[in-house]
Structure formats: structure tokens, C-alpha cells
Amino acid sequence: MMQNFRFVSRIGFCSGKEIIMVKLSKDKPLIHNECEINETSFGKYVEIGYGSRLNNCTIGDYSYCDRYTDIANSKIGKFSNIASFVRIGPTDHPMEKASLHHFLYRSSDYWDDSKHDDSFFIQRKSKVTEIGHDTWIGHGAIIKPQLKIGTGAVVGAGSVVTKNVKPYTIVAGVPAKPIKKRFSENIIEKLLYLSWWNWSHSKIRLALDDFRNDNIENFLDKYS
């Protein structure tokens, strides 16, 4: 789905003078300068950081990525927090062939009488990575293709994720391994059932003080 983008710089200060920050919008994603966007659709209140590259992606409502993020063939849920220099769904090379090089599938870049290998690109696109709602992907993390990162999960900075991550689980390392659950199984079950990320914009605003001030038990007591 093609959309209109707003390409902006969101710098707060320049030469000591304050600049009015561009607000997020429900109508158009906020796309910072020097981004490459291809075959990607965006939800409401989305922000894409400077120099990021997105190819064949769906970005859910309220999600954002920081500078120089590279996301390919991925479905990003709502309220996802993606730090700078993250790579999600990095594309592969034909390891089972005699060569790994681009000339195998980007052949027309090298010879006028040859064509790109469309079947290779179709196969790449089919390896979809899924990032759940309200996730946090730390700085410089890499998430391999065809994985599922559960809702509420946290991926530590610099991690290389090679396996699925369960909801509300913190993982870190190379390769990434589970560190701990953020909450008890009972609370996780209640959060997944509540699915606050599907609330309306106005309902989330009404609950803002409770999001900020309540501990998780009190919050769930109010809204479950």
C-alpha cells in the first residue's frame, strides 16, 4: 500500500535556538531524512529514524525505529520500540550454490543479456519476520528471518536472535538466550487477554496517568 510520507528533520535545537518539533500524525508516518522505503505500509503515529531502510514491511500503529534501522520482509506490531542500528530480517545469500555472490540473482547488473532471478527474490520475501506489540529491540540487535518475537518481549542491545522469543521474555547475547520473564505467567496471561494495544487513541489517553503511575498489579486490577 502506497502512502504519503513526511520527510523531516526533528532536531530540537539549532545554533542555540529552539526549533518547534514536528508532531506525530495519525494520517502520515513521520519519515526522517535519507530513508529508503520500498513496498512498506504504515499505521498511525509511526516514526522512522534518519537513514533507515525498510523493504516489504508492515509497521503497526505507534511503532517507531531510531536512526539507521534496516528492516526487511517483516511485520511489526503496534507500539514497538526499535533502537538505532537494528537489523530485522536480514536477507540471505544462496549458501547451497557454487557462489554466494549477487551475480547469481542480480544478473542483469553484470550482463546485458541476462535477467534477475525473480524466484530468488520471491523466496526471500516469503521469509517473514514478526515482531509483536509493545516490544523493545535494543541498539544494534539483529533478528534473523522467519522468527517471531512475542508481544512485550525485550531484545538486549547487540544481541543476535536466532530463535523465536516468547511474550514478555527478555533475551540477550550472541546467540540470544532467555534471561528472565518480565512478569509472572499469571500477569502475562492477563496482559495478553487485556490487549491494551488495541484500545482506541482516546481510551489510551484517558488511562495515561494509570500507565505512568500504577504498578502492573494495580493497573490490571483496574482494567482487567
Q: Which of 88, 79, 75 is nearest to 152 (CA)?
A: 79
Residues composing the chain: 224
Please say if 102 is a catalytic residue. no
Contact yes or no for 185/166 (Cβ under 8 A) = no
| CA dihedral for 134, 140, 141, 145, sign (positive or negative) | positive
Helical spans, DSSP H, in the chain:
118-125, 185-194, 201-206, 208-213, 216-223
Write down the catalytic residue from 93, 101, 102, 201. Answer: 93
194: its cell numbers: 487485556
Catalytic residues: 93
